[in-house]
Amino acid sequence: MAAMNELSRTAAAPWAGRGPVFSQPGLARPVAWATPDDLDRLRAGRARGRARPGKPLVPVSVASPRLGDELFARLMSYGTPHETHRGDVLFRPGEADVDLIVVGRGSVEVIRTETADVPAATVAAVDAGGFVGELNLLTGQNVYLLGRVREGGTVYRVPPERLRQLMANDVELSDIVFKALIARRELLQRSTAALAVEIVGTDRSAAALALRTYAARQRLIHLWFDAGTPAGQAMMQSSGLTEDDLPAVVLPGTTLTQATPGGLADKLGLSYRRSSAKPADVTIVGAGPAGLAAAVYGASEGLDTVLLDAVGTGGQAAASSRIENYFGFPFGLSGADLTGLAVLQALKFGAQLASPCQAVKLDTDRNGDLLRLHLQGGEVIDSKAVVIATGARYRALPLERWPDFEGAGIYYAATELEARGCTGSPVTVIGGANSAGQAALYLAGRGSDVSLVVRGPDIATEMSAYLVDRLLAHPRVTVRCRSEVTRLDGGDFLEEVTITDRTADSAQAQPCAGLFCFIGAEPATDWLTGIATGDDGFIRTDVQLTGNDLGPAWDTLGRRPLPFETSIPGVFAVGDVHSGSMKRVAAATGEGASAIASVHKSIATLA
Ligand SMILES: Cc1cc2nc3c(=O)[nH]c(=O)nc-3n(C[C@H](O)[C@H](O)[C@H](O)COP(=O)(O)OP(=O)(O)OC[C@H]3O[C@@H](n4cnc5c(N)ncnc54)[C@H](O)[C@@H]3O)c2cc1C
């Protein structure tokens, strides 16, 4: 009955009557999608001002692959056959651990069901020879669409563990299926499917920014509505939301008010949940470049790998609008793209990712051969080895009202998300290292007049020469050395900063729509006890450890710490959190990957 109601509420399929968009002529039509025209119209009409989905990671043309008989038979062999009848529901929003569905005979339609403010709509139709599924099959996200049989026949259900076997064992098939899942996510983000997760909030509110940053980093299918626009107002009205409810998320069957990334992750099934009672081989804490590299190498080398992050995947690197010094990318690439690809790679090899998921304690007394990690929600994870890749946290200035303006005018990153509220308005960047220089150029490139405030006497002391030259030549950048921001003013949002020039001993207030702070960071180690660190709090490993650091456990083991191993056996530290690290993406990924060799050796010495 529920399925019948959903059927009657379904809006006309946008693809109907237009034919396949991504088909090649003369071949069977396994999948038909909403056309780009329809998608653009929908986007323009419904959600002006939403975050751009970004460049597709793979060409969307691979979303509907055409498998020859032999490949299709191989794909079907991973599933179990089920006879279907018109109207059968194959999956519905909210379900976890859904199967990949291979259509042997008949056809299946994929529908975005109605939410508080939009009627249902058909997203795609999959005929015999195609398969139904998108990236959530690998990320573990709950289903947000409805799959229903349009024409009865036979489907082959491939459960998650069989899909993982396919990914690991059949290179040819896994390549085709994996690229299709990624391309479908890109297509869905730009389709009516995005209305399945609608986020509404005030453009410059810190809580809304946290939610949007999480959604963007997880590449969640979603639409953003600015509550200050007519589209946002209309959406709030039809969903029965008031200002007090913001930020809010409207999902099929439910609405989250005063929503947080954690609440959204719980609803979508992206929080930590362990399906196996067995301990993990390795748990990696922190999904920046170092943690992601450890996850890719751990999972690809057969370790049961869990990767957690307190915020979302990508770490500091995801906040970098342009990384120009990463090996092999002479034209630079955005940190979000780099880490987004790494996430896909880790998922492909079968790593389990969960965020937001904060580690709050590590039991350093081994529980038998296992290490026990405690998470903020009270869950525990037992594993044979732990890799700490928690990086460093940004430093702030000890100014009155600083906490009030964090996320509401004060930012620690300069990406599209932070910068769009300031486009064309004057901004201030604090810091003398490369990250500050990059941010200043990025913001100036978006039409802002930028004051770059540097405490030291010379901008060239810490910054790369190529950046210094570009900054000094840029007509919209003013470099103010021997200067400091000493006062902040505004209402709910930052409006003005006072900059004190220490040479002239003069202070000047000036308008400021965004203060971008890049003055270094402190290691994210406050959740750890009993681990050897340097005076600066960064974690020491292997040759940095002295005999005094090594307790009796090492005598029992009869070995010295392995490369990247900390003073606690089986616990490793990589990336920015590691004492003496280079604080660069390439160094972090190198350390993360290398540590896995030590993890293997450490596990081999257990029992
Ligand atoms: C704006 C900016 C621009 C930059 N540009 C460049 C550049 O051009 N080139 C370059 O080489 N480097 C650049 N860097 C530096 C580079 O990003 C870092 O060196 C790199 O990200 C370090 O990687 P990491 O994995 O060690 O740590 P991070 O990237 O800091 O990641 C650590 C992760 O751990 C998570 N975490 C922390 N505590 C916990 C906990 N208790 N439980 C769970 N998770 C936790 C955090 O949420 C975070 O996601 C830039 C940095 C910034 C901020």
Give residue 391 CA to ligand 1 midpoint distance, Å.
5
Q: What whole-number distance in Å separates Cα of residue 531 and Cα of residue 205?
A: 38
Measuring from atom 1 of ligand 1, which residue has the nearest CA? 320
Enumerate residues 6+ apart whose C-beta is below 8 A from 536.
523, 579
- Looking at the CA of residue 394, tell me the nearest atom of ligand 1: 53
Which residues share a beta bridge with 394?
521
* pLDDT-based confidence at residue 45 (cuts at 50, 70, 90): very low
Measuring from atom 27 of ligand 1, which residue has the nearest CA? 391
Q: What whole-number distance in Å separates Cα of residue 121 and Cα of residue 192?
A: 7
Q: Which of 272, 316, 438 to mutate to test the pocket of ligand 1 (most atoms within 8 A of CB)?
A: 316
**pLDDT over threshold 60, residue 44:** no
Measuring from atom 13 of ligand 1, which residue has the nearest CA? 584
Q: Are 345 and 339 in contact (CB under 8 A)?
A: no
- pLDDT on residue 16: 34
Give residue 580 CA to ligand 1 midpoint distance, Å.
15
Q: How many angstroms separate the Cα of 97 from the Cα of each of 90, 103, 160, 269, 346? A: 13, 19, 7, 9, 18
- pLDDT on residue 26: 33
What is the per-residue burial (b if ≥16 Cβ within 10 Å, else e) of 523-546? bbbebbeebbbeeeebbbbeebbe
Measuring from atom 26 of ligand 1, which residue has the nearest CA? 575
Enumerate residues 6+ apart whose C-beta is below 8 A from 607.
369
Q: Are 279 and 325 in contact (CB under 8 A)?
A: no
- Looking at the CA of residue 319, tell me the nearest atom of ligand 1: 1
- pLDDT on residue 421: 82
- pLDDT on residue 489: 97
Q: What whole-number distance in Å separates Cα of residue 308 and Cα of residue 397?
A: 29
- pLDDT on residue 38: 47
- Looking at the CA of residue 311, tell me the nearest atom of ligand 1: 47
Q: Contacts for 376-382 with beta carbons within 8 Å, 24 or more apart?
A: 376/310, 377/271, 377/272, 379/272, 379/274, 381/272, 381/274, 381/279, 381/280, 381/283, 381/306, 381/308, 382/279, 382/280
Measuring from atom 7 of ligand 1, which residue has the nearest CA? 323
**pLDDT over threshold 50, residue 585:** yes
**pLDDT over threshold 80, residue 538:** yes
- Minimum mean pLDDT range among 41-55, 273-287, 470-484, 504-518: 41-55
* pLDDT-based confidence at residue 53 (cuts at 50, 70, 90): very low
Among candidate residues 568, 512, 517, the one with its CA nearest the CA of residue 414: 517
- Looking at the CA of residue 591, tell me the nearest atom of ligand 1: 26
Which residues share a beta bridge with 251?
254
**pLDDT over threshold 50, residue 169:** yes
Query: pLDDT (tens digit, 9 = 90+) per residue, 539-557?
Result: 999 999 999 999 888 998 8
Give residue 409 CA to ligand 1 midpoint distance, Å.
21
Query: pLDDT (tens digit, 9 = 90+) per residue, 208-255?
Result: 989 998 998 888 989 999 999 999 999 999 999 999 999 999 998 889
Give residue 322 CA to ligand 1 midpoint distance, Å.
14
Give residue 428 CA to ligand 1 midpoint distance, Å.
22
Q: How many angstroms separate the Cα of 274 from the Cα of each of 46, 217, 291, 304? A: 38, 22, 19, 12
- Mean pLDDT over 529-548 rounds to 95
Q: How many angstroms separate the Cα of 376 from the Cα of each of 351, 372, 380? A: 21, 13, 9
- Looking at the CA of residue 435, tell me the nearest atom of ligand 1: 3
Mean pLDDT of the chain: 88
Pocket of ligand 1 (CB under 6 A): 285-291, 308-311, 315-317, 319-320, 323-325, 358-359, 389-392, 413, 435, 438, 524, 527, 575-576, 583-586, 588
Residue type, 467: L
* pLDDT-based confidence at residue 590 (cuts at 50, 70, 90): very high
- pLDDT on residue 277: 76
Measuring from atom 10 of ligand 1, which residue has the nearest CA? 584
Residue type, 223: L
- Minimum mean pLDDT range among 21-35, 114-128, 216-230, 387-401: 21-35
pTM of the full structure: 0.80
Query: pLDDT (tens digit, 9 = 90+) per residue, 420-438?
Result: 889 899 999 999 999 899 9
- Minimum mean pLDDT range among 409-418, 465-474, 501-510, 549-558: 409-418
Element (H, E) at 552: helix 552-557
Q: Are 354 and 306 in contact (CB under 8 A)?
A: yes
- Minimum mean pLDDT range among 39-53, 55-69, 320-334, 587-601: 39-53
Give residue 506 CA to ligand 1 midpoint distance, Å.
36
- pLDDT on residue 111: 94
Enumerate residues 6+ apart whose C-beta is below 8 A from 181.
133, 134, 135, 137, 138
Q: Which of 390, 412, 430 to mutate to test the pocket of ligand 1 (most atoms within 8 A of CB)?
A: 390
Q: Which of 353, 387, 585, 594 to mutate to test the pocket of ligand 1 (most atoms within 8 A of CB)?
A: 585
Give residue 318 CA to ligand 1 midpoint distance, Å.
8
- pLDDT on residue 367: 63
- pLDDT on residue 374: 96
Q: What whole-number distance in Å separates Cα of residue 174 and Cα of residue 75?
A: 10
What is the per-residue burial (b if ≥16 Cβ within 10 Å, else e) of 477-495? bbbbbebbbeebebeebbe
